[in-house]
Structure 1
């Protein structure tokens, strides 16, 4: 049906009915009626009809503007809905990515906690190992001092025994005559055994013994000073190493077990060497003890430095991943 086709609404036969219908429609729109009944006769007010037509036209324009505004608002709402849909989709994707990252971070945190726990156990084991080595060094130092005191007591006993023998020799009368005199190495004749010559020989002997005793005493003092210096240096280095280790140390159990097995074998060798050194001279015992202490300290220091390097590598990996 063509919208511009004029439909037949009013004819000559239904004018009153059309006027009544239009009047009702206009009244329903809130406009005054277009005709009125006066003295039983109906009079059509042309001015009123024109005014109503103008009002209807204005209402139609207003309705058109309202429809246009509503269409514009609808377009805006549609674009906003599309934008919100896109935003929602993007936010969902970001949420999924965040969830995956959160899961990865939680797994990373769990691994780091396990590593920290392992490093704490390694640090505890290393502290126990250092304490064990300190106890071994202290026990060996006390054993060395005990041996030195025992050697001094034996030396004093030998000296007393020698003095006693010399005193007994003075008091004892000579009962054996020398039949064949043995010549001296320089070919000179020996002097007669008089009190003066015996006193001279005795004085030389005492002088020789005193010189040997003094030299031995000086050697013992130097050895004690050297051992004290070595122990003091080792203590300072161990304290500095332990103080510098602020983070947990990391080490594989295989390396730790191998290092502990090697240290135990070294300790057994050192103990065996100490048992053998008890039968040797004091100088030999001092050299074995000093060498064993220095050997263990070098191994301990190298092991601690290796663990420190592993901790630094762990910290660098953490900083790069962070």
Structure 2
């Protein structure tokens, strides 16, 4: 366990200038619990972070930020699948690449998603037709008050679109310490989105899918190491089939993605793009010129710059389409996470 300088700039991919009273890097479960319990005794706010790839600091944090760096990768062979046990602090993209190098495909559609493995179930990360829940065998959660570890099955995680039980019941006083992933030995490519549709399902290889996903993401999305951002800022909205049909009447080119639930998913980036907001700037923040779903720190932006930009984007989309976008990014104030929708109202 180590204590870091108070700057949060290295710990958020928006690269925003913010500070915490204390920053602690925990490398095992015991350190996680000790750090959290210390904050409880001091009655100070506590925030658990992986790589800060999905957070927006809107002001300085008045308590302790604990960086989860629990590592370790175990691979167990089963009759028809590979079971992976992954420490929460492992980098997600490096995991995807490592498994591919070992001949264990199944994660390639989720390549280049920033963040740690422990953050993946919280958001139920997804891209190019695959979501975390489809691969999840279990999630191990620790009760920070007593050190007890609880294993939740995929069903118990209550996964939804960019949602899970970890945003609700296990949000406070708990931390994810590991995830279990099940990769079937019989690989079936998922080629339903973007350039992946151009690949031949009969001959395509996992490496080709990986390379195609990486190419698409790199051509559209800015590298957080170069330009501060948190990836997709807004969720793709879900609407009723009736609303989708009405929108299609007015906008025949609108991308529609029917869901098993009967709802229809819209492409938030397309909605924003139709409002001619690419490149639009507010203070030091801007809508990315290539991917309208990404808000960037283009010149020493503050959290308030990002919020005001997001508010403008949200209102423009609502005015044009009568669809209200919801942030995917978590908003962090001085005492902890706040309701992002209310912050933009």
* Structure ranking higher in helix proportion: 1
TM exceeds 0.5? no
Query: What TM-score do the two structures reach when normalised by structure 1?
Result: 0.18
More strand by share: 2
TM-score w.r.t. length of structure 2: 0.17
